[in-house]
Chains A and B, each alone.
Chain A
Amino acid sequence: MPPTTNTNATSLHSDSVSTGEPKDLTAFSCPVPLVPRERILLGHGSGGKLSAELLKDVFLPSLGNPVLDRLEDQAIVSLNGVRLAVTTDSFVVKPLFFRGGDIGSLAVHGTINDLAVGGAIPLWLSAAFILEEGLSFETLKRVVASMHEAASSAGVQIITGDTKVVERGSADGLFINTTGIGRVRDGVSLSASQAQPGDAILVSGFLGDHGIAILAEREGLQFETQVQSDSAALHALVARLLEATHEVRCLRDPTRGGLSSTLNEIALSSRVGMALDETSVPVREEVRGACEMLGLDPLYVANEGKLVAIVASSAAQAALRALQSHPLGKDAAIIGRVTADHPRMVVLRTPLGTTRIVDMLAGDQLPRIC
């Protein structure tokens, strides 16, 4: 690509650049052509603003329908009076094996969780594999064994599948796509559009474990840690919660994009604001250490075994006790409230008592040195 050359620079700005004395630019309002977005970036998969843009600009215009348009983690459809939850997901994590899990167990847990947060009992999974030419049988067997283990522990069956092989260099070893089907519990109706001012916001435990466990093994960033991915099937924890109270408005599992993406999505969907208390958000010491070192904010780091629950304020204590009574929820906490103030914005109270926005990120959060 030929380099751009700066030959006859006559604009107001370049004059000021050459003398080192910036001129008054307030009168200047020439619109600048923005970088046209022609290609998919990694950021489009990170669950933040770019992902939302992709949905809005590409998928919904062509595929939109009343069920899809609700944009929940699962679709709920009725068949002869029975409500079914259906979800699909793809797993592209690298490295394939990490502390606390692998792409196989992640695939099973992630799909189950998308069903569970819709209030569904997970029943069946499909698993389609895209394998890179040259992948070792040993690796594939390990992944499949892990999926079997995760599924049987969860009481879920993998009932159908598919396999495709792509050329070397196309698939990072292995990708897995799943579909999950579950039966929605009677009387349960959960949705991101149901949050109301006054509701309590709860999380089921420590945030950021998965993202940090993955980063710790990534080339160029490696560090030593005991932190493991929190990858887990949450349907039993959800069941415990739903048994304790009927006033759960919404459940989500905050994955890519972290807690921030999830809360922002709910705030947007319900057209409410959220007020969080930073000191209440549970983060492990090691995760904090890693985030401090790399300049990351734990609120944006991925999780794979955590719940966010929005419940009516009168049910908050019962919900908290229910979560804490289960091994996967023992570190649960109430971290804030839904509010009518600053609708569609998530605002955080800092440890100093001041406020700042918890914005949805554009793409992935990157380590920084500045």
Chain B
Amino acid sequence: MKYLDEYRDARIARALAAEIKRRSSRPWVLMEICGGQTHTLMRYGIDELLGDSVELVHGPGCPVCVTPLEIIDRAINLARRPEVTLVSYGDMLRVPGSDTDLFHVKAEGGDVRIVYSPTDAVNLARTLPDRNVVFFAIGFETTAPAHAMAVLQAERLGLKNFSLLVSHVLVPPAIRSLLGSPKNRVQGFIAPGHVCTVVGCRDYEDLVREFRVPMVVGGFEPIDLLEAIRMLVIQLEEGRVELENQYVRSVQYEGNRPAQMAVGRVFQAADRKWRGIGPISDSGLYLKPDYAAFDAERIFDLADICAQEPPECISAEVLLGHKKPTDCTAFGTRCTPEKPLGAPMVSSEGACAAYYQYKRHLVTL
């Protein structure tokens, strides 16, 4: 597959790894923000390739992991209502709420359906006029344009039975929160390449300037990540502090204007609570009042549903890079993918799940 296979080339990967080892004078602490990048690093054993030359720490780039507990509980509440068809991406089905998850609700008879695209959810609403179709709209900035288009299309079609349960989070405020913490150890960032494809690079340039930490916008294949790591190491070794773009085949400085405009039309930013981390100001997207007719939080009575995190889950520490999944006393024992205590163990690219699935053989449990 073009633009995928060539970025998995073993020979180039080895060359990049050798170059990183050669240039790195100490184990720089680097963080990738995006869960998809974590997945690649684990799946291809990039940490093994790099040995001790850098220390890779995984960031809160998993919207599944950081979706607040009460939103999951609200989705569950909706899915249990006989007149509601809850439509979701596959990622959310197994994330634990306060006492159950959407998979269990489906087993109990709830109408829960998986789709690949929000367009499929809109089409479901058209074909099921007697059902209240609620689409569980999670994601970062990458997915917001698609959700905006779904709302605009539903409006154009005059659908009265379609709404979104929104849990969108924005990356820069989270990075700001992370970098502002006295516990922060991260010295260089791999910025999320698909988020930047949509929003462009300006926000990340601002962060570099504000916090004096180098960043490289990275792609999602092993070669992309190795190249981004190489660029970061060289910056750190040379004492430069810049925003560089590794993912040039996809990311332009301005990002995607039509996509940004769609988001701007439908969504607005406000404070949002991140699961396991807490509230981060201006870090969430919400539907504008003009689109109240498509906002499940306004249509359905959900305000009473609040929630409490299980104390043993240290997802906060893991999501912010202060601890590794293997530092958690419950990792692999009380907390496993079948019986997760927190979201990073469920999401396919949550750090804990990635460690459990791919790297367990290197850890004595």
Contact = CB atoms under 8 A, between A and B. Distances in A.
Interface of A: 1, 3-6, 9, 11-14, 16-22, 25-26, 28-32, 34-35, 39-43, 49-50, 53, 219-221, 285, 288-289, 292-295, 342, 345, 347, 350-357, 359, 362-363, 366-370
Contacts of B339: 34-35
A370 B308 contact: no
A362 B337 contact: yes
Count class of interface residues, chain B: 35 or more
B63 A370 contact: yes
B361 A345 contact: yes
- Judged by DSSP, the binding face of A is loop
Contacts of B18: none
Interface in B1-29: 1, 4, 8, 10, 13-14
Given A34-B339, A370-B63, A41 B104 contact: yes
A324 to B, nearest CB: 26
B103 interface: yes
Interface stretch (B91-99, B157-165, B230-238, B248-256): B91-99
- Among A4, A293, A355, chain B packs the most CB atoms within 10 A around the CB of A4
Contacts of A354: 44-46, 48-49
Interface in B328-365: 329, 334, 336-339, 341, 347-349, 356-361
Interface string B38-66: 00001111101100000000000011100
B77 interface: yes
Nearest to B308: A6
A158 B339 CA distance: 43
B296 to A, nearest CB: 15
B35 A370 contact: yes
Contact of B45 (A4, A20, A355, A359): A355
Nearest to A30: B311
A294 B341 CA distance: 26
B317 interface: yes
A20 B311 contact: no
The 8 closest A-B pairs by CB, nearest first: A354-B45, A366-B90, A220-B115, A22-B316, A20-B278, A3-B305, A6-B306, A32-B310
Given A4-B308, A6-B307, A357-B358, A369 B44 contact: no
A370 B36 contact: yes
Given A342-B361, A368-B90, A4 B73 contact: yes
Given A17-B278, A42-B107, A22 B317 contact: yes
A353 B305 contact: no
B50 to A, nearest CB: 10
- Among A17, A31, A43, chain B packs the most CB atoms within 10 A around the CB of A17
Contact of B311 (A5, A18, A28): A28
B4 A292 contact: yes
B13 A352 contact: yes
Contacts of B48: 354-355
B334 A50 contact: no
A288 to B, nearest CB: 7
A210 to B, nearest CB: 19
Contacts of B77: 1, 3
Given A5-B306, A9-B308, A292-B4, A367 B114 contact: yes
